[in-house]
Structure 1
Amino acid sequence: MSAPQAGLSFDPRPLVEPADRNAIRAHAQRLKQSGGAVGSATIVPIVIGGAFVLIFASVVTVTGSIVGSLASAGTGTPFLISALGGLLPIILVLGAVAAVILFLIRGGRVRQERRYRLDRFATANGMSYVPTLSSPALPGMIFGVGSARSANDLVRGERPRFVEFANYQYTTGSGKNRTTHRWGYVAIKLDVPLPHIVLDATSNNGLFGSNLPATFDKDQRLSLEGDFDRHFSLYCPEGYERDALYLFTPDIMARFIDNAAALDVEIVDDWLFLYGKREFSGLDPTTWAWLFSVVAALLEKFAQWARWRDERLQADAAAAASATAAFAGGGSDDASAPGLAGVAASGPGALPFAAPAGLLRPPPGVAPPGRRLTRGVSWVSIVAISAVVLFWLLSQSGILGLLFR
């Protein structure tokens, strides 16, 4: 991945070199015209408009108060002090609104410059840039959780295979319990669908275990040789243990340990995802160099994975071929049936384009049992639910009231 396209090498200069303000504004205008700058362009006018409404209402209210004081208090020093005191709320409101407007303008400029730099960085490295994408249609575990799902600052490469770097967020809960979850991810397109496998990195687990949004049945945990278990907990569907060992040979395990031990990994369908609870797509050249090196280390081994086939599909393929041959050879009692007479005359199973069933190679794909891991229940959730139920029972029985008398 350090060379996403032939003839190119990793170039972080657009992330840090001086940027021309006119070029940044022109880039923001192009994004706006193409629909890529949705969000700040609509939110800022609404906030500023609301601020001016607030100012107008405050001015009218305080001015009325001052006029009333003028009519009743007369003139002199006490009146001037009263008038200045009446103007003070206006000054404070104007100052607060001005600060908010300046903050929004500053934030908009920072966002514009960030997008400009990332777009140029993507181009310099033979890739493309997409500012935002709502609800990415990806099969990874983080993409089907919560609401308000969106990816931003997507940097994509097409060669030697599709790779996407992005930041992602979604929300869970509501009201005071509403939480925004932020991730960085790398999505890599594989050659063939593979069994659903998760590598839960031990280095980023918290006090209550895994940081992943999904919990998997412990019976699907597979222990591998060497130091791999110290860095990752590997989960694969039951019955696919031998397939996991084929995919994760010692040299591939070493690649993951050396390059991706800080990341959670998920293989699902024909995708490989790398997850981290941090921003991936940003203006830090060190982060990009690390991510590019991780992907480069893994890409070299994906050719081996492309040869994997699910043997469970071989029986299905053989059965389908036998059924086709049987139908062609004896599926009709009428020898004059259109399209079958010539085939029937050549004998059962003598289709010129069908290989013997014993020589059939399974087609690319994964049988249903291997497509998704079985979800489990987190012990943290069990403890939390048990505590809530226990509290409710104690409160209903009156014991809780006796304890806090």
Structure 2
Amino acid sequence: MRGARASTAHAREFCAERGYSFRASLLNPPISGLLFRNPKNVVMRDVVDALSTDAPFLYARVSARGRPLRRLKLIMLPLPRPLPNMVLLSTTGNVLKRLGIALQESQRLGVEGDFHSVFTLYCPSAYEVDALYVFSPDLLGRIMDAAAGCDLEIVDNRLLIYAPAHAFSKPGQLAALVGLVAHLHEKFDRQTRRYRDERGSDAALEDPFLRAQLTATETRSEHGHVVGTHGRRLRTRTTAAQKAGIALAVILALCAAGYWAGMVVTALFGAG
């Protein structure tokens, strides 16, 4: 509790100094992403809202109820336009893996150069060229320097950075976060600003939920832009630990049912 109170005070003071908005907590945040596919299990705390700045971002401590790893840090950056759902996993941090989140291996894509020992990249089928266009060797090198040990997800028009719980906990690290965000904005904006998915159609804009993903700038340019249906979400899979948990739950349920059935039989016929 002492550490949580210190973190809250630190974030509140940081927002006051920078002119950012502060929120003590946010339940069930309306954010897309692997961690938020069941938003009822997610609580954001010590929320630093800098979305109105020149290098906009949102930062928070996140509690994920029902996950093996219950706490992490999240940084969210808006991107110039919607992109296919892509995930870059760090081989050292394993943040999403420790949350029990796993992706279907058929979506795994090898990255160029020596980065394959540092990162694992996932993208929807038929979007391999798009993923390598966005995650260029130059960008991967910058990520390795700026966000080592973090997992990254691009979903809709947002970049989500999943960081370990201990990240940005020491004095001065939140101030350094501003420079990190500006650096990432520069690199991702350069790689994504001109991206367009020709698989998406203007007819898809009839969907109000897709229209809501578009920023005002995107709506004014090119009559809006959306990602093709198959590129919007990656497919997840059940992990071995989750399968074991499901099997154990079934066994316990059957044992409980057998116990109560025996009690009923004893109550009905035991006296005879």
Q: When the two structures are superposed, what TM-score results if normalisation uses the length of structure 1?
A: 0.51
Whichever residue aligns with residue 236 of structure 2, its letter is R
Contact 2:94 2:149 in 1 (8 A): no
Other structure's SS at 1:288 match: helix
For residues 239 and 180 of structure 1, the distance between their equivalents in structure 2, rounded to whole angstroms, comes to 32
Query: Structure 2 residue aligned with 1:118, among 2, 7, 11?
Result: 11
For residues 126-205 of structure 1, the aligned pairs below 5 Å read 126-145=19-38, 147=40, 149-157=42-50, 158-172=52-66, 181-205=70-94
Query: Structure 1 residue aligned with 2:178, among 272, 292, 298?
Result: 292
For residues 25 and 168 of structure 2, the distance between their equivalents in structure 1, rounded to whole angstroms, comes to 12
Q: Cα distance, 1:222 vs. partner?
A: 0.5
**Which structure shows the bigger proportion of residues in strand conformation?**
2
Whichever residue aligns with residue 233 of structure 2, its letter is R
For residues 170-249 of structure 1, the aligned pairs below 5 Å read 170-172=64-66, 181-205=70-94, 210-249=97-136
Contact 2:69 2:98 in 1 (8 A): no
1:221–1:290 CA distance, 2 compared to 1 (3 A): farther
Query: Structure 2 residue aligned with 1:275, among 162, 170, 185?
Result: 162
Please name the residue that 1:308 is paired with: 195
Q: Cα distance, 1:155 vs. partner?
A: 1.0
RMSD after superposition: 3.5
Other structure's SS at 1:119 match: helix
For residues 185 and 73 of structure 2, the distance between their equivalents in structure 1, rounded to whole angstroms, comes to 19
Query: Would you say 1:364 and 2:258 are equivalent positions?
Result: no
Please name the residue that 2:258 is paired with: none
For residues 135 and 223 of structure 2, the distance between their equivalents in structure 1, rounded to whole angstroms, comes to 20
Q: Cα distance, 1:281 vs. partner?
A: 6.2
Whichever residue aligns with residue 165 of structure 1, its letter is Y
Other structure's SS at 1:291 match: helix
Contact 1:141 1:213 in 2 (8 A): no
Identity within the alignment, %: 32
1:368–1:289 CA distance, 2 compared to 1 (3 A): same
1:152–1:253 CA distance, 2 compared to 1 (3 A): same
Q: Cα distance, 1:127 vs. partner?
A: 2.0
Q: Cα distance, 1:225 vs. partner?
A: 0.8
Other structure's SS at 1:121 match: helix
Q: Deviations over 1:41-80 (max 9, x none)?
A: xxxxxxxxxxxxxxxxxxxxxxxxxxxxxxxxxxxxxxxx
Other structure's SS at 1:300 match: helix
For residues 391 and 135 of structure 1, the distance between their equivalents in structure 2, rounded to whole angstroms, comes to 31
Contact 2:70 2:99 in 1 (8 A): no
Structure number with larger C-alpha Rg:
1
**Which structure shows the bigger proportion of residues in helix conformation?**
1
Q: Deviations over 1:4-36 (max 9, x none)?
A: xxxxxxxxxxxxxxxxxxxxxxxxxxxxxxxxx
For residues 269 and 307 of structure 1, the distance between their equivalents in structure 2, rounded to whole angstroms, comes to 15
For residues 285 and 131 of structure 1, the distance between their equivalents in structure 2, rounded to whole angstroms, comes to 19
The count of corresponding residues between Structure 1 and Structure 2 is 237
Whichever residue aligns with residue 381 of structure 1, its letter is Q
Contact 2:111 2:120 in 1 (8 A): no
Contact 2:90 2:119 in 1 (8 A): yes
Contact 1:165 1:281 in 2 (8 A): no
Q: Cα distance, 1:379 vs. partner?
A: 3.3
Whichever residue aligns with residue 202 of structure 1, its letter is T
1:134–1:277 CA distance, 2 compared to 1 (3 A): same
1:161–1:295 CA distance, 2 compared to 1 (3 A): closer
Q: Which structure would you say has the larger RCO, counting Cα contacts within 8 Å and 6 or more residues apart? A: 2
Other structure's SS at 2:113 match: coil
Whichever residue aligns with residue 150 of structure 1, its letter is V
For residues 245 and 124 of structure 1, the distance between their equivalents in structure 2, rounded to whole angstroms, comes to 39
